[in-house]
Amino acid sequence: MNAFPFENKVFDPAEAMPRKELAALQLQRLREAVARAACVPFYKKALAKAKVTAQSIRKLEDVRRLPITTKADLRDGYPLDFLAIPRAQVARFHCSSGTTGKPIFVAYNRHDLNTWADLCARFLTAGGLRSEHTVHIAFGYGLFTGGFGLHYGCERVGAAVLPAASGNTPRQVMLLKDLGADVLVCTPSYALNIAEVAQGQGVKPKDLSLKFAHFGGEPWTEDMRRQIEAGLGLMAFNNYGLSEVMGPGVSGECVARNGMHISEDHFLVECLDPDTLEPVEDGQRGELVLTTLTKQAMPILRYRTRDIAHLDPSPCPCGRTGVRMSRIVGRTDDMLIIRGVNVFPSQIEEALLRVEGAAPHYFIEVDRPGKMDEVTVKVEVRAQDFSDRMSQMEALREKISREIHSITTIRVNVELVEPQTLDRSAGKAVRVIDHRKK
Ligand code: ADP
Ligand code: ZN
C-alpha cells in the first residue's frame, strides 16, 4: 500500500463490499429493477415474451433471460417512451451527445440524481480528489451529461468547483494559472489542446497548481496519458460512463490505475461477444452490456453499449471489490472495416504516439475509390521536428506507416501535415471521416 502515490481512500464503504455480499445485493436489486422496468410498455411486452417476471429471477445469471436493449430501441421510444415514473416526478433531463445520430432523452428523479453524484464522488475520491481541492471543469455544460455529472460529484466530495465549461482555450489556461485549480476535468483530447495552448503561451507545469485530472467521454491511450501528464504536470485518471445508463460514474480508476472499477452495486455488467451475444471469458474483449440496478426514472435492462473492453475480476491492491474494466478499445460503431480487417481509431493513435516526431493530432479518412478500401491518416508533425528536408520527412512518414501496419496489419497512406493545422477539439474529438458511408 505504501507504494501508492497518495492516500487510498474510499468514498463509500460499499466499494469494498465482499463479493458474496455484493452478489446478494445485486440479485435483490435486479428483481427490483425488473419490476420497475415492467412499467415501461417496451419492457412489459419484451418481458412477457421472454416469460420473465421479477419473482422468476432466482440467480444473477438469470440476467441472460432478460431482453436486450439497443440504441435503436431507445430511438424508437423517442422522446419519452422509456420513462418509468410519472413525468411530474422527473427532476432533470439530459441527452446523449448524439455522437452517432439523433440524441436520446434521459431522465432522472431526485433519487437518481443523488445516486449519480455519489457514484461520481466515488471515482473522484479514488483518483485523489479531496474536499480542500478546487476543480476546474472544462466539460461542456448542458445536455451532455459530463459537465453536470462531474460538477455535482465534485461538490459531493466537498471540493470547490470552477464551472469553466469548454471552449476559449487561452482563457482556460489563464483561469488555471490565476485560480490555481488542483484538479482538471475534461475530455482527454481537450486536455491535450489545453496543454498545447499553455505551452504556446510559455506556461510551464510549474506555473500551474494541477495535481490530478479526471478524463472521460472518449477513448484515449496510455501514451496520450503520458503526454498530457508531462504537458500539464499532473496525474491523470480515466473514468467511464454513458448517458443511456446514467452518465459518468459507471466506472473509474483507483490509485493503482490498472482498469476502472465498475460500481457493480448499481450496474450489472456483462461482457458479450457482439456477434453471438454469448459471454466471453474474463480477460477477453467483448461488448459491455449494462443493466441499471437502482435507476428509477429510466431503468435500462441489458443495454448494448457498443463499447469494446475486457473485464478483470482479479483482486485490486486498493481493496475495492468492483470488477475492473479495461480502457475502451473503441465502439462497435466506430470500428472501421478496412479490406476485411477490423481497425479501431484508437489503434492508429497508439501507433502514432509510439513514433518520435508525430504529434498526437491526427485525422483518418476512409474511402473506396475503386474496389479497394483506402485509408489516409493525416498526422501533424511536432513543431521541433518539422523540417524542410524531404528525406527526413519521408523517413518519419515511413516510420509511422510501419508502426500502424504492425499494430493493425493494414497499410495506410500517411500524410504529414504542418504543426497546428488539424482541428482541435473542445469536447469529444472527431477523428474519422468515412466517405464509403455516403
Ligand atoms: P454518445 O453515445 O452520444 O457519445 P455519451 O455522451 O453518453 O453519448 O457518451 C458515452 C460514450 O462515450 C460511451 O458509450 C463511450 O463510447 C464513450 N466514453 C465515455 N467515457 C469513456 C472513456 N473513459 N473511454 C473511452 N470511451 C468513453
Ligand atoms: Zn483498485
Q: How many other β-carbons are positioned within 10 Å of the β-carbon of residue 415? A: 14
438 vs 366: CA distance, rounded Å: 11
Domain with 245 in it: what CATH number? 3.40.50.12780
Q: Are residues 37 and 89 in the same domain?
A: yes
Q: Are residues 174 and 282 in the same domain?
A: yes
Residues lining ligand 1, Cβ inside 6 A: 96-99, 144-145, 216-219, 238-243, 305, 307, 328, 331
| Residue 287 backbone dihedrals phi, psi, to 5 degrees | -85, 135
Residue span of the structural domain in which 365 resides: 336-437
Label the pairing between strands 374-381 and 212-215: unpaired
Q: Are residues 167 and 234 in the same domain?
A: yes
The pTM assigned to this predicted structure is: 0.94
Task: Return the CA Rg of the chain.
Answer: 22
Band of residue 1 on the pLDDT scale cut at 50, 70, 90: very low
Number of domains in the chain: 2
Band of residue 99 on the pLDDT scale cut at 50, 70, 90: low
Q: Are residues 310 and 368 in the same domain?
A: no
Mean pLDDT of 55-79: 96
Compute the half-sphere exposure of residue 34: CA atoms within 13 Å on the CB side of its CA: 27
> What pLDDT is attached to residue 142?
93
* Residue to mutate, 116, 150, 218, ligand 1, most ligand atoms under 8 Å from C-beta: 218
Q: Are residues 92 and 73 in the same domain?
A: yes
Q: Are residues 264 and 379 in the same domain?
A: no
381 vs 356: CA distance, rounded Å: 9
Compute the half-sphere exposure of residue 271: CA atoms within 13 Å on the CB side of its CA: 19
Q: Are residues 143 and 232 in the same domain?
A: yes
335 class by beta-carbon count within 10 Å (0-12 exposed, 13-18 middle, 19+ buried):
middle
**Chosen domain end from 281, 299, 328:** 328
Ligand 1 geometric centre to CA of 242 (Å)? 5
Q: Where are the alpha helices (DSSP H) in 186-252?
A: 188-200, 222-232
332 vs 341: CA distance, rounded Å: 13
Q: Are residues 85 and 234 in the same domain?
A: yes
Q: Are residues 289 and 421 in the same domain?
A: no
Residue 239 C-alpha cell reads as 473514468
> What pLDDT is attached to residue 103?
85
- Measured in residues, the chain has a length of 438
Residue 367 reports pLDDT greater than 80: yes
DSSP type of residue 217: S
Bridge partners of 376, per DSSP, are 365, 413
Ligand 2 geometric centre to CA of 253 (Å)? 7
Give, rounded to a whole angstrom, the gap between the first and last alpha carbons of the chain: 54
Domain with 355 in it: what CATH number? 3.30.300.30
Ligand 2 geometric centre to CA of 318 (Å)? 4
**Chosen domain end from 328, 349, 367:** 328
The residues, ordered by sequence, that sit 6+ positions from 154 with a Cβ below 8 Å of its Cβ are: 120, 121, 124, 129, 135, 137, 161, 183, 185
Q: Are residues 140 and 285 in the same domain?
A: yes
Q: Are residues 277 and 382 in the same domain?
A: no
**Chosen domain end from 266, 301, 328:** 328
Mean pLDDT of 87-107: 87
Instruction: Write down the mean pLDDT value for the chain.
Output: 95
Q: Are residues 75 and 124 in the same domain?
A: yes
416 vs 395: CA distance, rounded Å: 11
State pLDDT tens for residues 222-274: 999 999 999 999 999 999 999 999 999 999 999 999 999 999 999 999 999 99
> What pLDDT is attached to residue 54?
98
